[in-house]
Amino acid sequence: MEYLPLIKNNKLEDLKKNIEKYAYNYLRGELDQIVDEDKDFYYFELNVDDIDLSTNSDSKSQVDNIKKFYNAFQNLSESQAVEERLWVGLAHTKFFNFIQKRWPLKEPNENNVEKLINQIKRYYFPNNLRDFHWQHPLASLWWTGKKYYSDSYENRFAILDFLRNDFNSKSFPFVGSNFTYNKKLMESIYEVLYEFELSNNREINHRKSKGQKETELGLFVKYINLEAGASVFEIYNKKDLKTRLRKILNDAVRQSSKINSEESI
């Protein structure tokens, strides 16, 4: 059992409004000059495991951090996980050193403190309250873990393991898609992709090589967007949805091969 911090509203406003005053404290890692752990936080009790997150930036470390973080904070409710004060609180207590090492702040040029301030805002505060749970470095670990956690497999993180070798390239095509927040559809998509790689003993083509016009994954996302725009997937149960997605994926693989063959002629 552990006590998790909610930063007090008045301190949150102070940091946001007076960020320039604290900028060099962030740069030097002087947490005690930024917040007072005894005065600036409320604390609530939650069963949380201790974890040691990697400060490496490679895809495998990124996926491992997601799994560790979500497992450790699995008792967190969704209503707690949308609380800005929690993530700002954790960023200024338990995980301050992790953020400092994982995303080190850069010394600004003379009279250019604005660049430093933008770095601080990016890593320690939500820039956009609507999407902060994907943008804040800690909140995104929990919400990404929740997004890809699946009871469909003995390995609950099988979908994350599918993304493990190239997390950003395999997940980026879905950013901005009109179905990103449809959990049933997203889970089914990654299950179908995961099963495709297992059955074909190869990765889905997701990175453009020289002269390549379309990737298999890119076309797959385009085709889904065309159908999802009409909300056609809402009528399917999970089994039928995956059947439909497999057909779309097979069409995308064939069309990608055709387009790129014509391009090379």
Q: Which of 200, 215, 195, 27 is nearest to 104 (CA)?
A: 27
Mean pLDDT for the chain overall: 88
Alpha-carbon dihedral angle through residues 258, 260, 263, 265, given to the nearest 10 degrees: -70
pLDDT of residue 125: 92
Going from the C-alpha of 41 to that of each of 11, 19, 85, 125, 193, the distances in angstroms are 8, 18, 9, 16, 43
Q: Specify the DSSP class assigned to residue 234.
A: G
Band (pLDDT 50/70/90 cuts) for residue 265 is very low
- Asked if residue 91 has pLDDT above 90, the reply is yes
Cα 87 to Cα 12: distance, rounded to the nearest angstrom: 11
pLDDT of residue 245: 94
Angle between helices 183-200 and 216-228 (to 10 degrees): 150
Taking only the tens place, the pLDDT of each residue in 28-82 is: 999 999 999 999 999 999 999 899 999 999 999 999 999 999 999 999 999 999 9
- Asked if residue 260 has pLDDT above 90, the reply is no
Q: Which residue has the higher pLDDT, 220 or 260?
A: 220
Taking only the tens place, the pLDDT of each residue in 68-80 is: 999 999 999 999 9
Band (pLDDT 50/70/90 cuts) for residue 164 is confident
- Please compute the mean of the pLDDT values over residues 97-118 and round it to a whole number: 91
